[in-house]
Structures are given as structure tokens and as C-alpha cells.
Amino acid sequence: MRKEELDFVLVPVGLTVMVSYHLWLLYRVIKHPTTTVIGINAINRRIWVHTMMEDRLKNGVLAVQTLRNNIMASTLLASMAITLCSLMAVLMTNSNGGYRGLRGQDFVLGDTSDLALSIKFFSILICFLLAFLLNVQSIRYYSHAGLLINVPARSQRAAPSLAAEYVAGALNRGSYFWSLGLRAFYFSFPMFLWIFGPVPMLVCCLVLVFTLYFLDVYSGWGENREEEEEEEEEDSGVHGRC
């Protein structure tokens, strides 16, 4: 196999690994949320919203400050993403001169043609554009949650519990968009290494998936809940016999 043909084999393998892992993670978040960090955080955010809205006068400032910190984090990532988009646009216009030094080098095993270079830079640009759009949506939902979390319950037509559920849903959607924006940044790492060939790109995909697995998966929450339920059942059985 010629080194120009490695891109047609290794790059799809790396992308398949990344996409398959995130599809598996999505399944775990939906079906078994207590085994993932994303699912556990979503459950705790819902509890947090209910706690903040139970005593609005006492917890209102804390809620607004917390949501403001989330908005600042999303704003930082969105600003970084649009800045990197501008940088990639400049590199794409001058890609021929910037990439000439890598052509003909032995460590670059992939395709080094102008078309391949344009595809590589465009892939990175797409990742940063997605990161920008997703973080903007995250700011939108955080702003909605920051306003609604301090609305008096007596002024709402819905029951207080339903109002809190709506605010918790807006907060969780903002967090989901923030997580997706962060994943777009993660996808840009192997795309960037693809400039130096498909081999570094594939290695980066494997290392990234291995690292993300330990950051996304958590098993202690479910085990603790099962132990508590077993203890409650034992206690209820003892009291019943008494």
C-alpha cells in the first residue's frame, strides 16, 4: 500500500472509533444515567434547581452567581472557537506555503496534495464552527435559566414543582450544549494531527477515547444507591418483625 492510500484506511478507522464511543456514551446516558458523569450531573442539577427555588429570597443570589459562572465558561469557549475559526480561515488561504515544508518528509505518511490539505483544514474549521454554535446555544439556555430561577412561584400558573422542572430542563439543556461544544474541541485534536499524517491521527483517536472513558464513566453512584436500598429493605424487615 502506498503512503498516499493510508488516509483512506486509517482515517475512517479513527473516526469510527470516536463516533462509536460517543454513540455508546449516549446510550449509557439515556438508559443508565447513574453510570456516567453526564447523567449524574444532570440528576444533581435538577435537585439543585428544586432546592434553589424552594427559598428564592435565600438562594436567589447563589443561583444567579452559579449560572453566571457557567455563562462565562461558555462565553470563553465560544470566543476561543470563533478566534480559531478565523485563524483556520487564514491558514486555508495560505495553506500552500505553510505546508510546503512538510511535503516530501518521511514522517508524513499520508496524502500531501493540495486537495488533501484543504480537506484537513476544512475538517478542523468545521469542528471549531460547531464548538462556537453549540456554546452559543449553551449561553442561551443558561440565560433563560438564570431569569426563570428567580421568578416567584405564586406568579406562575403551573404548580411550583412543574415550574422547577421546566427551569431544570433549561439548565440541563444548557449543560448538554456545553458538553457537546467541548466534544467538538476534542474532535479537533485528531483533525489537527491529521495534517502530519493518518498515523498520528489514529493514535490520537485511540488515546482520546481511552482518556475520555475514564472521565465519562462512574460506577460508584449506582453501587451506593443499591447499598442504601438494601439497607432500607433490611431495616424495614427488622421493624416489621418487631
Rounded average pLDDT over 212-227: 74
- In a domain, residue 190? The reply is yes
| pLDDT classification of 170: cutoffs 50, 70, 90 | very high
- In a domain, residue 57? The reply is no
| pLDDT classification of 216: cutoffs 50, 70, 90 | very high
Rounded average pLDDT over 136-163: 78
- In a domain, residue 167? The reply is yes
Q: What is the mean pLDDT of the chain?
A: 82
| pLDDT classification of 121: cutoffs 50, 70, 90 | confident
Q: Which residue has the higher pLDDT, 100 or 91?
A: 91
**Please, what sign has the CA dihedral across residues 40, 164, 178, 18?**
positive
| pLDDT classification of 238: cutoffs 50, 70, 90 | very low
Rounded average pLDDT over 87-105: 64
Question: pLDDT by residue (tens digit) across 12-65?
Answer: 999 999 999 999 999 999 998 989 999 999 999 999 988 888 876 667 788 888
Question: pLDDT by residue (tens digit) across 56-79?
Answer: 666 778 888 889 999 999 999 999
- In a domain, residue 209? The reply is yes
CA distance 79 to 58: 34
Grid cell locating 65: 452567581
Task: Quote the domain boundaries for residue 175.
Answer: 3-22+69-224
Number of domains, the chain = 1
CA distance 145 to 161: 15
DSSP state of 36: B
Rounded average pLDDT over 166-193: 93
pLDDT of residue 156: 58
pLDDT of residue 134: 95
Which amino acid makes up residue 44?
A: N
Q: Which residue has the higher pLDDT, 76 or 153?
A: 76
In 3D space, the residue among 161, 165, 144 whose CA is nearest the CA of residue 153 turns out to be 161
CA distance 139 to 68: 10
| pLDDT classification of 157: cutoffs 50, 70, 90 | low
pLDDT of residue 52: 86
In 3D space, the residue among 71, 98, 96 whose CA is nearest the CA of residue 178 turns out to be 71
In terms of C-beta distances under 8 Å and separation of at least 24 residues, what long-range contacts does 59-68 make, across chains too? 60/149, 60/150, 63/146, 63/149, 63/150, 64/146, 64/149, 64/150, 67/142, 67/145, 67/146, 67/149, 67/171, 68/146
**Please, what sign has the CA dihedral across residues 223, 227, 232, 234?**
positive
Grid cell locating 127: 469542528
- In a domain, residue 216? The reply is yes
Neighbours of 129 (CB within 10 A): 16
pLDDT of residue 21: 96
231 pLDDT more than 70: no
Q: Are 82 and 130 in contact (CB under 8 A)?
A: no
In 3D space, the residue among 57, 22, 38 whose CA is nearest the CA of residue 209 turns out to be 22
- In a domain, residue 33? The reply is no
Grid cell locating 122: 476544512
Q: Are 149 and 52 in contact (CB under 8 A)?
A: yes
- In a domain, residue 15? The reply is yes
For the chain, percent of residues with pLDDT exceeding 70: 76
In 3D space, the residue among 34, 29, 33, 53 whose CA is nearest the CA of residue 166 turns out to be 53
Neighbours of 33 (CB within 10 A): 17
- In a domain, residue 94? The reply is yes
Burial class (CB in 10 A: 0-12, 13-18, 19+), 30: exposed
